[in-house]
Chain A
């Protein structure tokens, strides 16, 4: 069966979609009220805690890729943004824009994947919306996330200090290379790293690590997010190139296309900037988690500004932010 304009009419076909797909997979006591808005209890929040809220829209093609799909991605992306602020993710809303001609089985696969990922991340999907537009059978998803930051936890890029260690949770470029490979029809075994990073953040908080800042390494890549951190904190990030993990197959893929792992997007990697005294402890804790097993201490914050990387031969270079779209070269 294919999606038609009738599925977005608000009438019978919309209700059918709601019942047979969204209602089936997303069911929970708040969503099941089916009122105009979800009404949330606030009594559960500890006094002094704060709310964190973020939104993101997902338009990836292909919709299903090795290691994930747009549904999983739409949960992980928003959950990770909450986690990076030290929040415990609680609720998600989701808006679907479906194009006419979308295969209903594909939609169900995506929704099932969203529901599974949300359950694993411990978040409830409490509100949603669906629209149908003309097009070629693709779909877009917006998710908005709400989380709770416990009292006293302050995690901001601006909190970094001279001497802090920069720790990267794993290999760079896997998601970007996977998607680009799929679009370009280049056969390769690269899987997206798409994942929620709650296991890493939980272990850091539970073990009292002095976390100054955290960022997930998404669009723009490591170079761009570190530049942002340096700008907020008025410091310089000094990286060691040979400490930065990249799988050989991703490195080969980059060499082939003239891309740099520093600028490639990931969907399941983060950096944590922590006090120098906690660097080794953070590394050990991360390495024990599923999503941080390849973690490395990749550099430190110093006086100055911008991002520098020391190459294996001992020279240094500036890593600027990403310009343009990071497209493959043509020669």
Chain B
């Protein structure tokens, strides 16, 4: 179907059968960013509400994890390797960025494979990877572990905060029944496959549509959700078939299985969700890091992540919390819902 025709139908949308707004959650931060970048909200009816979900692994990382990373970074002969997004996330005594100014050894990495070269070049230093991510990133940590094993490298460690999207979706479906459909992340789905969502679609009788990140992909997926709702359906559809296969990427899944096993994980703002974490099968120091600092009453990151409110409805949004001085984690990361809203919706 022609994209202009899809846009015109979505623009004319009058709401659900009872006249109420259709609520669609985009699970992934990259979708949230793309929706702003492409101006998607302006192209569709205000009766379709796009709600930003938990889709950023940095945003949901608990305080105790940051503290653990700092603990390693402060040790003699240890260097913590981290993605840039993590630098400003507040721990109980400060962020990695604050601590780097106080003697912590923190180095930005662009790929976890950097640890291997560094560790070989400096055998007396232990390189600790702050391994944060969803299913998309986990296989690359697995490949790093494979390489460590192959080359018998002794001086690389992982501190994990790895999470999986499905248990979080289950949590949202059971706690937020008024979300009508889900725009599923293309990146994660490349790994998990679209079949992984069938169970949820059946149990909650809601549309789960996998989408890519171009305007056309997102609009098409929204259109498919609208049509399913109009026909009383609740099933998995793949609007990104070029990249996402029903069975996913078996090789990546095998790497995950080989090195990691599921366990309970703390999602900042949500609490502990069973089986939503991935831990090293042996000796994972990331286990049990479920202490979370109490966020101030005004900070509503928890409500933002589950789609109860839009970021700009939080009383701290732009008032004591902005990308320059973030308070809540959703404002910190480039993929956090609050940060994306702030950067794109002013003016």
Contacts and interface: CB of A to CB of B under 8 A. Distances in A.
A316 interface: yes
B13 interface: no
A313 interface: yes
Contacts of B339: 323
From DSSP, what is the main secondary structure of chain A's interface residues?
Answer: loop
Contacts of A315: 38-43
Contact of A318 (B83, B334, B347): B347
Contacts of B58: 330
A320 B187 CA distance: 26
Contacts of B251: none
A330 B133 contact: yes
Contact of A258 (B36, B334, B344, B346): B334
A315 B344 CA distance: 13
A255 interface: yes
Contact of A329 (B7, B324, B335): B335
B11 to A, nearest CB: 11
B340 to A, nearest CB: 11
Contacts of A260: 37
Interface pairs A-B: 6 shortest CB-CB: A315-B39, A327-B84, A306-B347, A315-B42, A323-B323, A184-B110
Interface string A63-84: 0000000000000000000000
A185 interface: yes
Contacts of A330: 57-58, 83, 85, 132-133, 137
B118 interface: no
A183 B110 contact: yes
Contacts of B41: 315
Interface in B181-216: 187-188, 213, 215
A308 interface: yes
A305 interface: yes
Contact of A316 (B39, B110, B323): B39
A54 interface: no
Interface in B15-40: 28-30, 33, 36-40
A11 interface: no
- With most chain B CB atoms within 10 A of its CB, the pick from A258, A327, A330 is A330
Interface in A128-152: none
B3 interface: yes
B279 to A, nearest CB: 18
Nearest to B3: A313
B158 to A, nearest CB: 14
B345 interface: yes
A255 B347 contact: no
Interface of B: 3, 7, 28-30, 33, 36-43, 56-58, 83-85, 88, 108, 110-111, 113, 132-134, 136-137, 187-188, 213, 215, 323-324, 334-335, 339, 343-347
Contact of B39 (A185, A306, A307, A311): A311
A314 interface: yes
Nearest to B213: A255
Interface in A272-331: 305-308, 311-318, 320, 323-325, 327-331
A318 B37 CA distance: 8
Contacts of B132: 330
A331 B57 contact: yes
Contacts of B334: 258, 324, 327, 329
B84 A305 contact: no
A258 B30 contact: yes
Given A313-B39, A327-B85, A305 B187 contact: no
Contact of A308 (B3, B36, B343, B347): B347
Contact of A327 (B108, B187, B324): B108
Contact of A331 (B36, B88, B108, B133): B133
Given A323-B324, A325-B84, A330-B85, A184 B111 contact: yes
Nearest to B185: A331
Contacts of B324: 323
B345 A318 contact: yes
Contacts of B37: 260, 311, 317
Contacts of B30: 258, 329, 331
B260 to A, nearest CB: 16
B20 to A, nearest CB: 24
A311 B346 contact: no
Given A305-B347, A328-B110, A331-B187, A258 B39 contact: no
B347 A320 contact: yes
19 contacts: A180-B110, A183-B110, A184-B111, A255-B213, A308-B347, A315-B43, A316-B42, A317-B344, A318-B344, A318-B347, A320-B347, A323-B343, A324-B84, A324-B334, A327-B85, A327-B108, A328-B110, A329-B30, A330-B83
